[in-house]
Structure 1
Amino acid sequence: MRSLAIGTLLLAVPAAAARERASAPPPLPIVAIVEQQKQIRADDIARRGRYGQLPLATRAELMTKQVEILSLVEDKASTAELSRREQVEVFNRLEWIEATVNDTEDERMICRIERTLGSNRMVRTCRTVADERKEKERAGRSLDRRPRQVGGREI
């Protein structure tokens, strides 16, 4: 009986690791990311295509995001060489650039690495900006409906 329990446990650990790997995005070649950012920078400087109408503040933020991406991927061959947090940071910055250029802010994905409740296990969660905003509004409404008390009396 004890060996059955240990065997089950040994099988469960690789299965959990496989699920974690399956939820991670496939590694991307850094060369492709760098080339894409160079093309965007050239189009932005020349004010070609979608970059011609970007406001000055947005263009400045775009360049900042590009510098952050390039510094994170420097001297790497693939995103697999980045830490989990760095992968999420690069993903979020690339998503910001994509959403800004295509004017699809509500569809932009935001990923975070969060601790699972009641566990030390870290999980990558991704939601759209629209989903985040709805959740924040829902949380605010539920706080507003909560009765408030001061000194044992409701106010």
Structure 2
Amino acid sequence: MRALAIWTLLWAASTAVAGEQAQRTPPPLPILAIVEQQKQIRADDVARRGRYGQLPLATRAELLSKQVEILSLVEDKASTADLSRREQVEVFNRLEWIEATVNDAEEERMICRIERTLGSNRMVRTCRTVADERKDKERANRDLDRRPRQVGGQEI
């Protein structure tokens, strides 16, 4: 009985530590690195060098728009730790969009959201790829199509 209680306590402690590690945010990035990367991308885009030479005009305009949004969010900050959680997610999503667009890898782009855990007030950051989101949406639509349609107990 005593061994079971000790084992239960050890198991609970290990899962609590694992849960904390899963919820930890990545180490803060220096804003200077983000700004320098965006300046380099903009210079390559203006010169139409490398991958940027093939981008359609609408995509280039959206790329510049995302860069302006990123730079306005990180203005006067030293690292990503100085941003709020929501701002960190917004910057991450915009950087992922730019990377996916430049690398022509839209399906691999990560989308992060801050969501409330069901039955709690705790906020959790969840990240998934565009492909995962699309697959889940297709699965949900397929499951809805399989359900028998009824109104007032009568099949339609």
Structure 1: which 5+ runs fail to align? Answer: 1-7
1:89 maps to 2:90 = yes
Alignment of structure 1 residues 4-153 onto 2, 5 Å: 15=17, 18-19=20-21, 22=24, 24-153=25-154
Cα distance in 2 for partners of 1:21, 1:117 equals 16
| RMSD, aligned CA | 1.9
Aligned residues: 144
Percent identical pairs in the alignment equals 84
Cα distance in 1 for partners of 2:87, 2:148 equals 42
TM-score of the superposition, structure 2-length normalised? 0.86
Cα distance in 1 for partners of 2:63, 2:125 equals 25
Cα distance in 2 for partners of 1:45, 1:136 equals 37
Structure 2: which 5+ runs fail to align? Answer: 1-8
Cα distance in 2 for partners of 1:136, 1:150 equals 25
- Deviation, structure 1 residue 105: 0.8
- Deviation, structure 1 residue 151: 3.0
Cα distance in 2 for partners of 1:49, 1:88 equals 28
Where 2:88 maps in the other structure, the secondary structure is: helix
- Deviation, structure 1 residue 102: 0.5
Runs of 4+ in 1 over 3 A off after TM superposition: 14-18
- Deviation, structure 1 residue 19: 2.8
* Contact 2:23–2:124 (CA under 8 A) maintained in structure 1: no
Cα distance in 2 for partners of 1:15, 1:50 equals 43
Where 2:128 maps in the other structure, the secondary structure is: strand
- Deviation, structure 1 residue 117: 1.0
Cα distance in 2 for partners of 1:17, 1:80 equals 21
Cα distance in 2 for partners of 1:50, 1:152 equals 58
Where 2:120 maps in the other structure, the secondary structure is: coil
- Deviation, structure 1 residue 150: 1.9
